[in-house]
Amino acid sequence: MTTAVRPQLHYLHDVLEELKAQHLYQKLPILSGEQKPVTVVNGREVVNLSSNNYLGLAAHPKLKRASIEAIRKFGAGTGAVRTIAGTMTIHMELEEQIARFKQTEAAVVFQSGFTANAGTVSAVLNKEDLIISDELNHASIIDGCRLSKATIKVYKHCDVEDCERICKETENWPGRKLLITDGVFSMDGDIAPLDKLCDLAEKYNCIMMVDDAHSSGVLGRGGRGTVDHYNCHGRVDIQVGTLSKAIGSMGGYVCGSRDLIDFLYHRARPFLFSTSHPPAVIGACQAAFTMLEGAEGERLVKKLWSNTKFFKRGLKRLGFDTGVSATPITPIMVGDAAKAHEFSRALFEEGIFAQAIGYPTVPQGKARLRTIVTAAHKRKDLEKALEVIGRIGKQMGIVQA
Ligand SMILES: *Cc1c(COP(=O)(O)O)cnc(C)c1O
């Protein structure tokens, strides 16, 4: 039995009703098994094109074994924040492993990519400072910028000229300056012009920061990210990544100089005030990086790209607009949000799980299905997906019959 609800939050009900009227209300899709390329969502078996599980590691036997082993040795939880009593040897080992992978002096693990961004930007800058930020940067960067109380100036998406215009205008800014970008943009799948942004950061004396949430495990040698992809080693002061996407578990990390990491140990609020990762998570991440450092990781990254190319070519051949994507994130542009949701629902009925994304996650009129293939997809899964997407797309007039 539940208790009676007080009226103070009744306005939330009105908001939800409004979302329903606008067809923006969404029930959570529920998986009844592991995160896999073919899985059961809301009771239906589907080809899953909606996860960020790039390398198929989320349900990989090696990660599961490593998690169980870590639980056996270190228990179910850590019982404290990192700075008090919540740092175990495995936390330190993982950080060393990540730093080695990214070729930086040091790394620190956060509870999520979200807290890594928000905690780092807000710790490194304060209200006298300036942030120069891409207009499509991730919400966690935006929140970090706001928390820092620094002045925020936004340049047009991936527009180096517009970025330089702001750099010039603020050349004599009295405080520090941070130039910040996503490495790969999560809704469009395009790659930031990191080399050119590094040029600007050098020319105008900005701290350079990149969020490689969607590029680690995807771009660069063995998935080392955009810094490696552009050979910008030594030119980016702060590299953020996530353990929740290609790495297959959960968490985030920051890589950079020993001083940066030491400073974050002392000043990053999520690090100081939120309990550390349980051993199961750390064990899984260690196993994932061990794979990435070896031949197996290279093979998985190659497979991810061959699947990506196969799927993108198929969509183009069918006549779909896949926007500006250059990575495994492949939007199927629809335009109208209601139509995108209808397309997604129709695909689901036929066993294809591709979520529709509309405003406010993407701009008005730019609704789309967001698809991601993984290294774990089989060709026959992708062939089935292309067949169904093509057929329904034609029926709905999204592409020409
Ligand atoms: C997903 C994402 C994050 C957040 O990572 P989590 O580990 O899921 O919190 C941060 N930045 C970008 C660009 C992302 O796409």
- Residue 153 is a catalytic residue: no
Q: How far is the CA of 316 from the centre of ligand 1 (A)?
A: 28
Ligand 1 atom nearest the C-alpha of 137 is 13
Token code pair at residue 333: 């542009």
What pLDDT shows up at residue 377? 98
Q: What is the pLDDT of residues 120-134, one digit of tens each?
A: 999 999 999 999 999
The answer to whether 120 and 267 are in contact (CB under 8 A) is no
Average pLDDT, the chain: 96
Q: Which helix (H) or strand (E) holds 385?
A: helix 379-395
Distance CA 399, CA 187 (A): 21
Distances (CA, A) of 134 to 141, 158, 180, 322, 330: 10, 7, 7, 21, 20
* Ligand 1 interacting residues, C-beta cut-off 6 A: 112-114, 117, 138, 140, 182, 186, 211, 213-214, 242, 244, 252
Q: How far is the CA of 214 from the centre of ligand 1 (A)?
A: 8
Mean pLDDT of 152-173: 98
Catalytic residue among 245, 277, 312, 377: 245
Phi–psi pair at 48, nearest 5 degrees: -95, 110
- Residue 215 is a catalytic residue: no
Q: Whose CA is nearest to atom 2 of ligand 1?
A: 213
Tell me if the bond preceding 328 is cis, omega within 30° of 0. Answer: no
Q: Whose CA is nearest to atom 6 of ligand 1?
A: 113
Q: How far is the CA of 116 from the centre of ligand 1 (A)?
A: 9
Distance CA 339, CA 336 (A): 5
What pLDDT shows up at residue 43? 96
Q: Which helix (H) or strand (E) holds 210?
A: strand 207-211
186, 212, 239: residue to mutate for ligand 1 pocket, most atoms within 8 A of CB: 186
In total, the chain counts a number of residues equal to 401
Q: Helix, strand or coil for residue 305?
A: helix
Distance CA 338, CA 196 (A): 38
Percent of the chain with pLDDT over 90: 94
Q: Which residues pair with 47 in a beta bridge?
A: 38, 352
Mean pLDDT of 16-28: 88
Q: Whose CA is nearest to atom 14 of ligand 1?
A: 213
Count of C-beta atoms within a 10 Å radius of residue 18: 11
Q: How far is the CA of 75 from the centre of ligand 1 (A)?
A: 27
Q: How far is the CA of 401 from the centre of ligand 1 (A)?
A: 38
pLDDT band at 401 (very low <50, low <70, confident <90, very high): confident
What pLDDT shows up at residue 23? 77
Catalytic residue among 177, 214, 229, 312: 214
Q: Whose CA is nearest to atom 1 of ligand 1?
A: 213
245, 249, 253: residue to mutate for ligand 1 pocket, most atoms within 8 A of CB: 245
185, 218, 244: residue to mutate for ligand 1 pocket, most atoms within 8 A of CB: 244
What DSSP string runs through 82-113?
TTTT---HHHHHHHHHHHHHHTSSEEEEES-H
Q: What is the pLDDT of residues 243-262, one digit of tens each?
A: 999 999 999 999 999 999 99
| Residue from 200, 212, 208, 203 nearest 235 by CA | 208
Q: What is the pLDDT of residues 329-372, one digit of tens each?
A: 999 999 998 899 999 999 999 999 999 998 888 888 999 999 99
- Residue 203 is a catalytic residue: no
Mean pLDDT of 291-308: 96
Sheet hosting strand 151-155, strand order edge to edge:
106-110, 252-256, 238-242, 207-211, 177-182, 130-134, 151-155
Distance CA 159, CA 173 (A): 21
Q: What is the pTM of this model?
A: 0.96
Distance CA 200, CA 124 (A): 20
Distance CA 217, CA 245 (A): 9
| Residue from 385, 215, 197 nearest 307 by CA | 385
